[in-house]
Amino acid sequence: MAANGADLVIDVHGLNKHFGAHHVVKDLALTVRRGEIFGFLGPNGSGKTTTIRMLCGLLTPDSGEGTCLGYDILREPREIKRHVGYMTQRFSFWEDLTIRENLAFVARMYGMPERKARVEQALTHLGLADRATQLAGALSGGWKQRLALAACLLHEPDLLLLDEPTAGVDPKARREFWEELHALSARGITVLVSTHYMDEAERCHKLAYILSGTMLAQGTADEVIASQALVTWAVRGGDLASLAVTLRELSAVEQVAAFGTALHVTGSEADALRQSLAPFMNDPALQWQEVAPSLEDVFIHLMNRAQATGPVVAH
Amino acid sequence: MSYFSLSRWLGIVAKEFIQLRRDRLTFGMIVGIPVVQLVLFGYAINSDPKHLPTAVLSADRSEFTRSILSGLKNSEYFSFVGEARDEREADRMLATGKVQFVVTIPQDFTRALMRGERPALLLEADATDPSATSNALSAINQLAQTALVHDLVGPMAVLGASPTAFEVRVHPRYNPEAITQYNIVPGLMGVILTMTMVLMTGLAITRETERGTMENLLATPATPLEVMTGKIVPYVMIGLVQVSLILGLARGLFGVPMIGNIGVLYLAVLLFIAANLTLGLTFSALAQNQLQAMQMTFFFFLPSMLLSGFMFPFRGMPGWAQTVGEVLPLTHFLRIVRGVLLKGNGFSEIGSEAWPIALFMLVVTVIGLRFFKSTLD
Ligand SMILES: Nc1ncnc2c1ncn2[C@@H]1O[C@H](COP(=O)(O)OP(=O)(O)O)[C@@H](O)[C@H]1O
Ligand SMILES: [Mg+2]
């Protein structure tokens, strides 16, 4: 890996991107270390895909700078493409080519030596060796995703950029997919993966949360949770549905969410929250317990705060 | 790192061929369009219509005029359906399509004939459909020589000895330049190439954009030059196949002469294909999706058909239309093909028609490069 002796595989800052008058990515900074599985979270339309495309040279930032694998994102996109495996949000392999033809084509685009052998190897590893002559378009969602991952890995990239790779994939396939990602990470391959799923967020070493183009939090799951200093109480028993309605009216309560048989009541001011909840805590039908806020509590908090304070408005 | 890798380029070419082969409809169009068009156009023109409705406007009646008219009738090309009372009625009959021809025998025709003044017989033809009249027109000139052979005897035989005793003045109306089948079959080659080359390249590239596969392609180290040229190579070959098919059918079915050098013709074809492909590429750079690429193609194709001299004789068009026509590659290509096939033209004669095509291509390439994106911006 070139220049940036440090282990920063992605190191960009001040990235901006407009589409017409629409400011889609705002002063974004991102650092990802080698071997990390880095989760990139944010609601739809918050700029995740746009950011990933800027990282691999598919979009040119309006301003900003930085490196990806030590190569300058503005001046050396071709070098970056050579060493990055990018899996697009939508399946973007050729549905009218067979599985083998798709892999062979990719191998050729990267000018790989011993193409035939590597393609066969990938097919075997995928478990698709006996279906290699099927058209890619005939595959189910889960298999398409596995094919796409295999194709992205064919040229042995140092960095994987995965854009919502598990959208629409069943839980079992998702779990296998994540096991594969951890295996890759153990081999020193860095993975940046965007996702909507909280359980997937928790499987990442590091996280970043982006909203309307602005990075709101970055770090390990614990760091992200701690950074917002939220207090969450879990309450069980009684009529939780009507209790939720009542609690939402309290000014110290920021969010009330149902988790199975419990309600999670979250606020950012510990004392104010405790005072507001005091009358309900005396109700013998209810059992109260302070719990650690979940990632989801934190993300919803970030979203609400952004909406309330103005400059960053989700749409 | 190279900006052009032969292996990558071949990979793109191979992929395009595989996709083309699986796309039955496109594949069918490639072979089907030339065959169907050629057969339709060719046979429509090949037909030799006879017994065409003809009116007579006669201001003079004599043995001679009767002989001439019966001679016309015997040629089987003319069938007399009525007599016009005056010029206005004759005009109307032509205009409404009631008759294809009006034969006008002027006053004092017989007297002038006997004096050896070689009077003129006027034949007005509705030439909107020239293929319908061309054979009849050539028949009437033959007739002028033979119709009066039996009548001009004795002292008047001397009149028959001159080239012709009378003159036939043909006045083709509505369409002064009669296009023949030889003219149209080679022309069809240019029309088909314009259609398929511009459309197919336009579609080939917007298809990748529309399906999202372009993002994947651009994320690999493949360069725009490799992608663009790699994707059009198959279509160059398709163009050459179409040309060969058309030439073969033109020869086999219609006996279109091929006087000039076929090598020269193929070089001109390559230039023309290249010009159309660059236009297709430029359209695909401008279009957001396949539908738009298709619309742009038709927007270009229609004037090409109409103003190139394929549909209507070039010299019969108004000045502005000729100016537009001169810009279109098809106009020049038609002249080259007709020149090479029918007149035996070589390099020295086609040069003046080749450079406008090259210039068109250059301008279109510059525009295309301005709009072509190697990113998704
Ligand atoms: N090519 C484009 N042209 C115009 N607007 C775009 C384009 N790509 C994305 N956008 C807009 O930018 C915003 C961010 O999109 P995106 O990066 O795809 O978000 P995400 O991946 O987080 O869902 C959205 O509002 C989207 O409509
Ligand atoms: Mg996205």
CA-based torsion, A301, A303, A304, A307: positive or negative: positive
Give the pTM: 0.77
Contact B88, B53 (CB under 8 A): no
Q: Are A74 and A18 members of one domain?
A: yes
Q: What range defines the domain where residue A267 resides? A: 231-292
How many Å apart are CA A225 and CA A217, to the nearest integer? 9
Cα(A25) to ligand 2 centroid in Å equals: 12
Interchain contact B218–A (C-beta under 8 A): yes
Q: Hey, which bits of A254-293 come out as E strands?
A: 255-259, 262-267, 287-291
Ligand 1 atom nearest A25 alpha carbon: 14
Largest CA distance in chain B: 96
Q: Which is nearest to B350 in space by CA: B271, B235, B245?
A: B271
State pLDDT tens for residues B92-126: 787 766 788 888 888 888 888 888 788 888 888 87
Q: Per the domain annotation, does B308 fall within a domain?
A: yes
Instruction: Between A77 and B37, name the one with better pLDDT.
Output: A77
Task: Return the bridge partners of A13, or none.
Answer: A65
- To the nearest whole Å, the CA of A59 is away from the closest chain B CA by 5
State pLDDT tens for residues B197-224: 898 888 888 889 899 999 999 999 998 8
Q: Per the domain annotation, does A111 fall within a domain?
A: yes
Q: Are B30 and B83 members of one domain?
A: no
Q: Residue B174 contacts by C-beta under 8 Å, 6 or more apart in sequence? A: B126, B127, B128
Q: What range defines the domain where residue B12 resides? A: 6-38
Contact B97, B54 (CB under 8 A): no
- To the nearest whole Å, the CA of B36 is away from the closest chain A CA by 28
Based on the number of CB atoms within 10 Å of its own CB, is B103 exposed (0-12), middle (13-18) or buried (19 or more)?
buried
DSSP track, B232-258: HHHHHHHHHHHHHHHHHHHHHHH----
Tally of domains in chain B: 3
Does an H or E element contain B138, and which? helix B130-146
Report chain B residues whose CB lies below 8 A from the CB of A58.
215, 218-219, 375-376
Interchain contact A267–B (C-beta under 8 A): no
Q: Per the domain annotation, does B93 fall within a domain?
A: yes
The sheet with strand B167-173 has its strands ordered as B78-83, B52-58, B101-105, B120-126, B167-173
Q: Per the domain annotation, does B47 fall within a domain?
A: no
Q: Per the domain annotation, does B45 fall within a domain?
A: no
Q: Per the domain annotation, does B44 fall within a domain?
A: no
At A4 the pLDDT is 45
Contact A102, A151 (CB under 8 A): yes
Q: Are A110 and A251 members of one domain?
A: no
Q: Which is nearest to B74 in space by CA: B45, B97, B54, B102?
A: B54
Determine the residue type at A96. Answer: D
Q: What is the pLDDT along chain A (315 residues), one digit of tens a residue?
A: 444 455 899 999 999 999 999 999 999 999 999 999 999 999 999 999 999 999 999 999 999 999 999 999 999 999 999 999 999 999 999 999 999 999 999 999 999 999 999 999 999 988 888 899 999 999 988 899 999 999 999 999 999 999 999 888 888 889 999 999 999 999 999 999 999 888 899 999 999 999 999 999 999 999 999 988 899 999 998 888 888 999 988 888 989 988 888 999 999 888 999 998 888 888 888 899 999 998 888 988 888 887 776 544 433
- Cα angle: A104, vertex A108, A114; to 5 degrees: 80
Ligand 1 atom nearest A210 alpha carbon: 22
Length of chain B: 377
Q: Per the domain annotation, does B1 fall within a domain?
A: no
Residue ranges lining ligand 1, Cβ < 6 Å: A 19, 24, 42, 44-50
